[in-house]
A and B are shown apart, each in its own frame.
Chain A
Amino acid sequence: MDFNLTDEQRMLQDTVARMIREQYDFESRMKLLEEPAGYSKEIWSQFADLGLLGIPFSEESGGFGGGGVELMLVMQEFGRGLVVEPYLPTVVLAGGLIESLGSDAQKEALLEPLIGGELVMSFAHGEPQSRYDLSHVETKAEKSGDGYRLTGRKAVVLNGDSADKLVVSARVSGDVTDSDGIALFVVDANAEGVTRRGYQTVDGLRAAEIILDGVQVGADGVLGEPGKAFPAIEQVVGRGIAALCAEAVGAMEAACGWTLEYLNQRKQFGVPIGKFQALQHRMVDMQMHTEQARSMAILAASRLEEDYELRERTLSAAKALIGQAGRFVSEQAIQLHGGIGMTWEYAVAHYAKRLVMIDHVLGDTDQHIERYVALTDNQAEGEAAGAPLAANA
């Protein structure tokens, strides 16, 4: 067991940290929100130049061959900077699915430009009625020529408003919530029959409602074996969960940092408010939640390659704890700042919004506690509690 980063990991961390520190201060970040796509194309191509867009992809796909820890290091820095560029939807989710299910030709056609920063994608999976259920897919895919016709509606598709291409899930067979029968398709975002309504999210990102009205997809747009996509979706979403957990830890660190600074600087009754014990203890609680969250982010990142049950249980545990910790840190950061923490112009408000919204992405605390329980009950009871933390796979 070793908690030290390797030299390469440390270099990666330093590189991203430096970039965020130098180019992603709060004022700059707020300006980026006004860009047409809601983020900076220029920064996106800098990510590409630094190799960040290739982090989770294997070397044969043209990537960096990074694992969960590398992803964690990048996302943590992104969390600190409240980065709005679409790393999660493009690289982790859509890119992850292409690498997992795509043919050699698809990987070549899509991953190369994606890693190079020229192709931005989204994963159009959630639907108005699906909430956090990954197997709930009403959108239909009907055989048509040598391809399929897609009809349905996708909800709150992150970065869906400006993505060049979408990975769309649709059902080829089975009932609405069956995990069997789901297929994935690569769809050009401007294809005939695609209607998008883009909007900003509460935390400053972009998303879209997408209507698919008989969208024709050729055989070359089918990802993997139609009907068998669910395990890949679950696994890639798992990586997304680990990424969000790490991002949340970065955002919590920043929120704690801002709050601590404020406690030292703001004076009331003639002394810095950090002299008051009630506030000191609240600050300690924030710090402790952040450390517990960090532990879970590390655990999540470290178990992405484990067997199904251990991996998914850990991811659900992590997302559940981090949802709670994020909310605690957000609320207390605002509270300890008082009125100023409520203002749009102050960074803490935006960290708070991101942290709370992270709990709404890829399953919230309640969803994941329920899932954790379901996965735990599959194991021999007692063993789960007494088992060593990190047995070798």
Chain B
Amino acid sequence: MDIHYTPEEQAFRDEVRTFLKNKLPEDIATKVKAGKHLGKEEMVRWQKILNEQGWLAQSWPVEYGGTGWTPVQKHIFDEESSKAGAPGVVPFGVSMVAPVIIKFGTEAQKEYYLPRILNQDDWWCQGYSEPGAGSDLAGLKTRAVREGDHYVVNGQKTWTTLGQYANMIFCLVRTDPEAKKQEGISFLLIDMSTPGITVRPIYTIEGGHEVNEVFFEDVKVPVENLVGEENKGWTCAKYLLTHERTGIAGVGMAKEALSKLKSIAWDQKKNGRPLMEDPLFRNRVAQVEIDLMAMEMTNLRVLAAAKEGGAPGAESSMLKIKGTEVRQEIYDLMRRAVGPYAIPFLPEFFDAEAGEGPEVGPEYAPPLAGRYFNNRKLSIYGGSNEIQKNIISKMILGL
């Protein structure tokens, strides 16, 4: 057992740092660090740069253009990218639908979609949740009826993240309403420009527009857009959920957020002294820092075990719970750190051009309360933390 990075791993870290220093556009990094919203163009620009480097598809098999990185390498990349202010890769195409296509898709689907994902020709979004199917995902009702060489899709998806930018959506749809819950579901790839699709924004608690509702009214989808077998879509869905998710703990993001929290708390004053010297606040910061230290180690241990052929899915539930708890705690402390300047609501701040500072309070303050509220999502999405506990309870503990 040796927790030190090997010379090769150190060299890799240097390589990543150099790459980020040379290739990460400054305007994007500045916006990310200031907590401003990125637009589609910026996200696509960065993902194209990653792709040119061959570093976009970190978890794909090498023969499809994957990096072949070890869990430790992915961890290093994650850590360095967050530190440099690189945006996270939008997961829906490269990390979600692509592994499913690679595993269950036809040769034609692989040949068509995979290069388009790498080249940023398609922006994918996820059609899983429905108004009546959240944690109980298999209760979904969106119906697809086979008519000749098409399916006709009717129904509604919701919480569709960045659906406003997407031209493609992967959907779980019900193809056999008579079958038992999980058994009548299929996995369909749908072109968002097909007639009958409507996207409506959902504005979230902090005022932002990340998620959407997507309505399907007699939408015709070619049969060749079915992935895997008809009525076996649940297998794809489960695979997607248990597919290795290195980043699920969000260690890099948490470390970056913690470092920001500390710099804010050194800048803020309480009784004329830095807030960071206030024993009560300092204690809270230390608690979460220690928790994060342990989580980073847990993350590396779990990923290393998974790589050795050990347990895959259920352990990542633990990482999801702990990772989101730690990040929520940090965002909570950030909001509290700025005291009364958490109060002003300045929506224009998020979309302002990088560098254009607000006049209200310190420049780091405006996003903090919103970010805190926005990140309540962490313990809800991707399977709520309660659902994750059900999974651990069943899969690991056997209860």
Contacts and interface: CB of A to CB of B under 8 A. Distances in A.
A334 interface: no
A293 B322 CA distance: 13
Contacts of A264: 398-399
Given A292-B322, A369-B286, A3 B399 contact: no
Contacts of A385: 255, 258-259, 262, 289
Closest 7 CB pairs of A and B: A295-B297, A280-B393, A385-B259, A274-B399, A292-B294, A385-B258, A317-B290
B4 A392 contact: yes
B389 A3 contact: no
Interface in A309-326: 314, 317, 320-321
B293 interface: yes
Contacts of B301: 3, 294-295, 298
B194 interface: no
21 contacts: A1-B6, A4-B1, A69-B1, A283-B399, A284-B392, A287-B392, A292-B294, A294-B301, A295-B294, A295-B301, A296-B294, A298-B1, A302-B1, A320-B286, A320-B290, A372-B286, A373-B286, A385-B262, A389-B300, A390-B3, A392-B10
Interface in A364-382: 369-370, 372-373, 376, 381-382
Contacts of B2: 1-2, 302
Q: Is the interface of A mostly helix, strand, loop or mixed?
A: helix
A391 interface: yes
A302 B4 CA distance: 9
A296 B297 contact: yes
Nearest to B70: A1
B389 A291 contact: no
Nearest to A299: B297
Contacts of B399: 260, 263-264, 274-275, 280, 283
A314 B293 CA distance: 9
B206 interface: no
Contacts of B256: 386
A359 B266 CA distance: 31
Interface in A168-183: none
A296 B397 CA distance: 22
Contacts of B263: 381-382
Given A280-B399, A298-B1, A302-B3, A386 B297 contact: no
B298 A381 contact: no
A6 B259 contact: no
A283 B396 CA distance: 11
B21 to A, nearest CB: 15
Nearest to A382: B259
A386 B301 CA distance: 20
Interface in B281-304: 282-283, 286-287, 289-291, 293-298, 300-301, 304
Contact of B298 (A9, A291, A370, A382): A291
B220 interface: no
Given A9-B1, A281-B386, 18 more contacts: A2-B2, A3-B301, A3-B304, A277-B390, A280-B399, A283-B397, A287-B318, A291-B298, A293-B294, A299-B3, A299-B297, A320-B290, A321-B290, A369-B283, A373-B286, A382-B262, A386-B259, A388-B76
A5 B308 CA distance: 13
B5 A317 contact: no
Contacts of A295: 294-298, 301
A321 B258 contact: no
Q: Is the interface of B mostly helix, strand, loop or mixed?
A: helix
A386 B4 contact: no
A186 B286 CA distance: 38
Task: Give the most central of B258, B294, B297, B386: most A CB within 10 Å.
Answer: B294
A296 B293 contact: yes
A368 to B, nearest CB: 9
Interface in A275-291: 275, 277, 280-281, 283-285, 287-288, 291
A200 to B, nearest CB: 33
Contacts of A370: 283
A183 B398 CA distance: 55
A263 to B, nearest CB: 6
B395 to A, nearest CB: 11
Contacts of A287: 318, 392, 396-397
A291 B318 contact: yes
Task: Give the most central of A274, A292, A370: most B CB within 10 Å.
Answer: A292
Nearest to B325: A288
Contacts of B311: none
Nearest to A393: B4
B72 A1 contact: yes
Nearest to B7: A392
B79 interface: yes
A387 B389 CA distance: 31
Nearest to B298: A295
Contacts of B389: 280-281, 284-285
B237 interface: no
Contacts of B397: 260, 280, 283-284, 287
Contacts of B300: 1, 3, 389
Contacts of B294: 292-293, 295-296, 299, 317, 321
B305 interface: yes
Interface in B212-260: 255-256, 258-259
B371 interface: no
B327 interface: no
A329 to B, nearest CB: 14
